[in-house]
Chain A
């Protein structure tokens, strides 16, 4: 079994902590007391944002789960999952969340006594795994549990990635030799070192992986010394860690290009830049605080007469996006911070004008010129039209 690469140096002995925790629970039960499980409250109302730190950090609030008839199911499931994870940690085995879901299902099928623990769907087992991580204040990856790879498809003619494999051997990937194939970071810890063959001018993270692919197919990475990356929606841990790595090792300006709506601003851009409320304990290693919001910006809508459309308030889905914008302004510490005032103004503009605009609207500015989107992006970077 090969050694698992770690994201950070952890002083905690997870198996020992788990045994101490379980022993304490058992002792409480023996005394006829109610055992309590505690975890950091991972929600916006327990999130703090300090621009000097650069990412969302947790407050003092904790979630307490005390044993009673309502919580006995959750506690039994937590202990059941801890047992599986402990076995993995001691053997060095790693699994994805989905694999853990099926492993637990298999155990339940084999032992009828465990039938009550059966997870109805993967969301249920994922929630228990996340709770275990929050409770032990360790990363999911430190529990030898990794999510499936998603997003982060990266194109560049200048970037060279050197990966140190668990056995010590090194793999060198020159992205310029991959043709039309992108380099994709894993959603698990990797020992990567980055080098630029020539000076890289900027890194562009595009919300839609398809749009990133189109820009590259049109020759953007040929004409410019840059990195183009597709985020594929809400960035996964892998994408967030990859962006942080590029930012730290290459020190190139990084820009995010996505839709003009509240979902993109909060769930995608803010998560990339400052992490999320759900991953409060992981944000330090999974955020790229220097990334700028390139657009689509309200000024672009006006300047390029972009095809945007009115939010239909009668449509519940569209009306939700307006509500989201209002909620974001009222409860998200990232947007409430004065350093991000300009981003908050974008949300205010969305609420006032009840509009939304897709990133792909740039393609329609001049349909006869397939390079128009690239030109606009470059113009925006050059003229500083970003937040």
Chain B
């Protein structure tokens, strides 16, 4: 036995995170920059949405010197929003105190949940550059803005406000945060800042953002929706979302209330009809009038078992937030020149006891990716891009599990498909099961993977309509070119070998033309049929009333899913999800001519480091040509 026992000490939450910043996304200089930016933008967007403000963000990321370590730079990250602003006394709590959150455990689909991220960013700045975050904030009741540096008191888990002053600020309200941290900047690729900003733009159609990255010119992307998403209030729990222990604890809150009444008023989707169904499925009727606090554990267990096996209405859709197909469809056009795309929003489902909504946007771009490269996969959880540890994520598993070849895409076995496509998949749920605290990967449960897979298959069906038409078109082109190229060579070769006269040659050429002309007609017929099917689909969508024009594109519409003519594996697909699709104006006809040429976009400019502000006015002047055939 030890002579003296070591004294047991307790540490503050801040101390824990200061020592384990890698757990919350600060595992390398590269990730530190992205995570800091991400946390600041998430906070801004959440604040704006909570107060019904259409967000307008300015982001600047630049190198301002050498970092403390050899491999890093001193990087300045500025995020400025038009949000409600914060009172001076709230600044230390928000930016310098861990687990100080207005959203913790509320069961809402907000980006931030626990109040860790932004305090961790302050800690990183403090540890690597000896200074926390400089915050400027103004609420609409303030005449002047308050500006201060916030540090984390690591021992006490408290925020410390330094250098506080009031300043004139030309904004009616908003918050500006400036971090100076040791880090490294990566713009492109999975973990790149541009990828993050693009993803954020995609799933936030109501966001106007202007960003300046390193030496590049500022890029401004305007909002395409003027509706602030309403963050649904938390609803009563659904009985199927609970485990037995939670069920008993929840019942404890209702004391003497009759058990039947507790079930009706303590849960969503439990009605008198549900109670009848429960009794029918084996719940003792005598339990219902008993006071809830008098039930034994055994009785709770019996009731819980019956509840688990009884079918009930899905959880309320009010507790989950979706971007919406229409907004997603408009938003995707902001990423570049889209060739065509398909969007699907599934109805909420219970996966792993929690309501979940899956949204999918698959788009082929004219100016990004190539046929040989893997598709670009953008993953989102509660509208926040997930950029690391792709392989372990439920979304990646679902994409790889789909046979994309049946939709016309190239794919090696158990891999992501390839081609110039962007696959954006968004999971929204009040309780997303992440694999780690840094929220980089969604846990791949069978139920969730299957739900994502179904959404992908629905979107894939839609996409295949476009691809099939293109294949027919390419087939026709190939056949025409074959006739022109090989026909005369074949005849001339035969004539030479046989030593035939010119008259035989001419006659054979005529015969060849007739033969191959017949084949071309067949191919043209195939193409027309494929086009007719695509156009019929578009008309059907138009009748559904959701036809609208896109700025640089032809049409966008929605339709009911579940077409009989889709020759893909649609087994098990629901017909309740609506999807959107869009065809670009560019069109290759049988002549093989390309009708439309589109200019570059804000994304191109940013990616190349020569970004320019692309105003909507300027874009409106771009040359457009209509796809006449598609409208017939």
State the A residues within 8 Å of B (CB): 18-19, 22-23, 25-26, 28-34, 67-70, 72-73, 75-76, 79-80, 82-83, 86, 113-114, 116-117
Chain B residues contacting A73 (CB-CB under 8 Å) are: 482, 485-486
- Is chain A's binding surface mostly helix, strand, loop or mixed? helix
The chain B residue with its CB closest to the CB of A31 is B511
Answer whether A22 and B498 are a contact pair too, CB < 8 Å, given A29-B512, A32-B514.
yes
Could you tell me the distance in whole angstroms from the C-beta of A123 to the nearest C-beta in chain B? Answer: 20
Tell yes or no: B508 within 8 A of A by CB.
Answer: yes
Chain B residues contacting A82 (CB-CB under 8 Å) are: 493, 497
Q: Is the CB of A79 within 8 A of B494?
A: yes
Q: Is the CB of A76 within 8 A of B486?
A: yes
Chain A residues contacting B485 (CB-CB under 8 Å) are: 73, 116
Per-residue CB contact flags for chain B residues 482-505 toward chain A (1 = under 8 Å, else 0) read 110111111101111110100010
A219 to B356 alpha-carbon distance, docked (Å): 76
A79 to B491 alpha-carbon distance, docked (Å): 9
Q: Is the CB of A30 within 8 A of B490?
A: no
6 residue pairs A–B, Cβ–Cβ below 8 Å: A22-B497, A26-B491, A33-B511, A70-B482, A79-B489, A116-B486
Q: 6 smallest A-B Cβ distances: which pairs?
A: A116-B485, A79-B493, A29-B508, A69-B479, A76-B490, A32-B511
Answer whether A25 and B486 are a contact pair too, CB < 8 Å, given A32-B511, A69-B523.
no
Q: Is the CB of B519 within 8 A of A68?
A: yes
Could you tell me the distance in whole angstroms from the C-beta of A338 to the nearest C-beta in chain B? Answer: 37
- Is chain B's binding surface mostly helix, strand, loop or mixed? helix
A29 to B506 alpha-carbon distance, docked (Å): 10
Number of interface residues of B (CB under 8 A): 31
Chain A residues contacting B488 (CB-CB under 8 Å) are: 113
Question: Known pairs A22-B494, A67-B512. 10 more at Cβ < 8 A?
Answer: A22-B498, A26-B508, A29-B508, A29-B515, A31-B511, A33-B515, A69-B478, A69-B516, A72-B483, A76-B489
A23 to B491 alpha-carbon distance, docked (Å): 11
Chain A residues contacting B479 (CB-CB under 8 Å) are: 69-70
Q: Is the CB of B497 within 8 A of A86?
A: yes
Tell yes or no: B625 within 8 A of A by CB.
Answer: no
A68 to B478 alpha-carbon distance, docked (Å): 12
Chain B residues contacting A86 (CB-CB under 8 Å) are: 497
Query: Most chain-B Cβ atoms within 10 A of its Cβ — which of A18, A30, A117?
Result: A30
Q: Is the CB of B498 within 8 A of A30?
A: no
A23 to B509 alpha-carbon distance, docked (Å): 14
Tell yes or no: B632 within 8 A of A by CB.
Answer: no
Could you tell me the distance in whole angstroms from the C-beta of B106 to the nearest C-beta in chain A? Answer: 45
Q: Is the CB of A69 within 8 A of B482?
A: yes
Could you tell me the distance in whole angstroms from the C-beta of B26 to the nearest C-beta in chain A? Answer: 35
Tell yes or no: B225 within 8 A of A by CB.
Answer: no
A72 to B485 alpha-carbon distance, docked (Å): 9
Could you tell me the distance in whole angstroms from the C-beta of B517 to the nearest C-beta in chain A? Answer: 10
Answer whether A29 and B483 are a contact pair too, CB < 8 Å, given A19-B497, A69-B519, A83-B497.
no
A26 to B496 alpha-carbon distance, docked (Å): 11
Tell yes or no: B131 within 8 A of A by CB.
Answer: no
Could you tell me the distance in whole angstroms from the C-beta of B487 to the nearest C-beta in chain A? Answer: 6
Tell yes or no: B507 within 8 A of A by CB.
Answer: yes
Q: Is the CB of A83 within 8 A of B523?
A: no
Chain A residues contacting B493 (CB-CB under 8 Å) are: 22, 76, 79-80, 82-83
